[in-house]
């Protein structure tokens, strides 16, 4: 998209001082999520919707400067969820390449744009150049300063807002949904993560990113969730800026390129026993986390996912806080959710499932 690189650079260059603020918001939201789950009193429930609302609140804060109570669903969230679910099907090892784009998706996208426009207008009415509250305020500020008017157009910024909201909600929410799927299927792994949480963090505070360096097994478990349950199996579409040769094949200029991340992560030449959930594969003999150039859930190169840092922050803080407070179990008489099959929507999501959250 023309102008996207400059807008992304603007966000990145000004986002560094916000990192601690983002972390605090994620910690706060993790507390809200725990409180909401506590209301179930250990009974069986589906965690999907409340996880989606928790993650959506982080993006809502960044883009719109607001969070919503779990009982007060913002109008944008169901529109987003409907958009993601249209054309869904079973994602198995045999149909990874199937894509369906129903006409209704374009209708929902128009509705989403309309809601964003309304939010921008509300921001214009309360805008204060000395108090930049969120991304929309930042956009208003740079346009009033006259910075690159051909780039910072309303249309370009609307598209970036939609990208941020959609990419920053469904992907991270599905990563957390998958993490609970794996925990109830592997109670031994869940117990080891909890032991590490108790040792490093304890029960008196919420996890912070500084803890991650001392929590190798927890980090390894999250990496294994990223690998085993690839929430964006084909990444985001890119295009060649010029004709190039790769692996002996000539790829013409302007060819749309998709990376088959799922295949990379499930190739036995890259990962031994790729269809088994094994966090220990990420630890060396000294218990330190192993880095691998095959681990590319956020893509690679200069077009790596803009939200990588935020997604990693959310995944660690939410996941750790949930296991700090609860032990997740399969409800009595029910089968554990599948670890390998799910819904083929815009992202790879687990089938809806139920768990019991037993207070620790």
Q: What is the DSSP string of 295-320?
A: --TT--GGG--TTHHHHHHHHHHHHH
Q: What is the pLDDT of residue 169?
A: 86
Residue 61 C-alpha from the chain's centroid: 15
Q: How many CB atoms are closer than 10 A to CB 330? A: 17
172-183 burial code (b ≥16 CB/10 A, e <16) = bbbbbbbbbbbb
Distance CA(353)–CA(330), nearest Å, equals: 9
Q: What is the pLDDT of residue 170?
A: 86
Beta strand 256-257 with 326-329 is: unpaired
Query: pTM value?
Result: 0.87
Q: What is the count of structural domains for the chain?
A: 1
Q: What is the pLDDT of residue 91?
A: 40
| Domain membership of residue 133 as a residue range | 4-359
Q: Is 305 annotated as a binding residue?
A: yes
**Partners of residue 245 on adjacent β-strands:** 250
The answer to whether residues 282 and 224 touch, using CB atoms and an 8 Å cutoff, is yes
Q: Which of the residues in the chain have pLDDT under 50?
A: 1-15, 88-100
Q: Read off the CATH number of the domain in which 207 is found.
A: 1.10.630.10
Q: What is the pLDDT of residue 13?
A: 45
Of 356, 348, 351, nearest to 337 (Cα)? 351
Q: pLDDT tens across 204-257, in order?
A: 999 999 999 999 999 999 999 999 999 988 888 888 999 999 889 999 999 988
Distance CA(211)–CA(207), nearest Å, equals: 7
Q: pLDDT tens across 188-218, in order?
A: 999 999 999 999 999 999 999 999 999 999 9
Q: pLDDT tens across 89-100, in order?
A: 444 433 444 444
What kind and span of H or E run contains 349? strand 348-350
Phi, psi (rounded to 5 degrees) for 266: -120, 20
């Amino acid at each position: 998209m023309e102008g996207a690189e400059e807008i992304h650079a603007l966000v990145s260059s000004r986002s560094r001082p916000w990192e601690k603020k983002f972390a605090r918001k994620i910690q706060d939201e993790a507390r809200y999520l725990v409180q909401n789950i506590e209301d179930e009193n250990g009974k069986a429930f589906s965690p999907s919707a409340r996880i989606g609302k928790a993650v959506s609140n982080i993006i809502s804060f960044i883009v719109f400067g607001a969070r919503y109570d779990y009982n007060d669903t913002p109008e944008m969230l169901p529109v987003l969820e409907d958009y993601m679910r249209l054309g869904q099907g079973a994602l198995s090892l045999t149909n990874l390449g199937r894509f369906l784009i129903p006409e209704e998706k374009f209708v929902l996208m128009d509705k989403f744009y309309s809601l964003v426009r309304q939010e921008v207008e509300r921001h214009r009415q309360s805008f204060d150049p000395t108090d930049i509250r969120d991304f929309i305020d930042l956009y208003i500020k740079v346009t009033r300063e006259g910075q690159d008017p051909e780039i910072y157009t309303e249309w370009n910024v609307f598209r970036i807002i939609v990208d941020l909201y959609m990419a920053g909600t469904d992907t991270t929410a599905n990563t957390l949904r998958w993490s609970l799927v794996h925990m109830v299927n592997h109670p031994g792994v869940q117990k080891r993560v909890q032991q590490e949480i108790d040792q490093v963090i304890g029960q008196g505070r919420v996890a912070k990113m500084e803890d991650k360096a001392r929590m190798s097994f927890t980090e390894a478990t999250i990496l294994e969730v990223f690998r085993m349950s690839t929430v964006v199996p084909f990444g985001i579409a890119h295009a060649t800026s010029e004709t190039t040769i790769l692996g002996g094949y000539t790829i013409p200029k302007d060819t749309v390129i998709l990376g088959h991340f799922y295949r990379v992560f499930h190739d036995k030449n890259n990962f031994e026993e790729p269809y088994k959930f094994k966090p220990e594969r990420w630890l060396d003999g000294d218990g330190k986390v192993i880095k691998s150039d095959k681990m590319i859930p956020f893509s690679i190169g200069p077009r790596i996912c803009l939200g990588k840092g935020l997604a990693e922050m959310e995944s660690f803080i939410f996941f750790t806080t949930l296991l700090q407070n609860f032990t997740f179990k399969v409800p009595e008489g029910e089968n554990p959710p599948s670890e390998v099959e799910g819904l083929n929507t815009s992202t790879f999501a687990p089938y809806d499932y139920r768990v019991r959250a037993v207070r620790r």
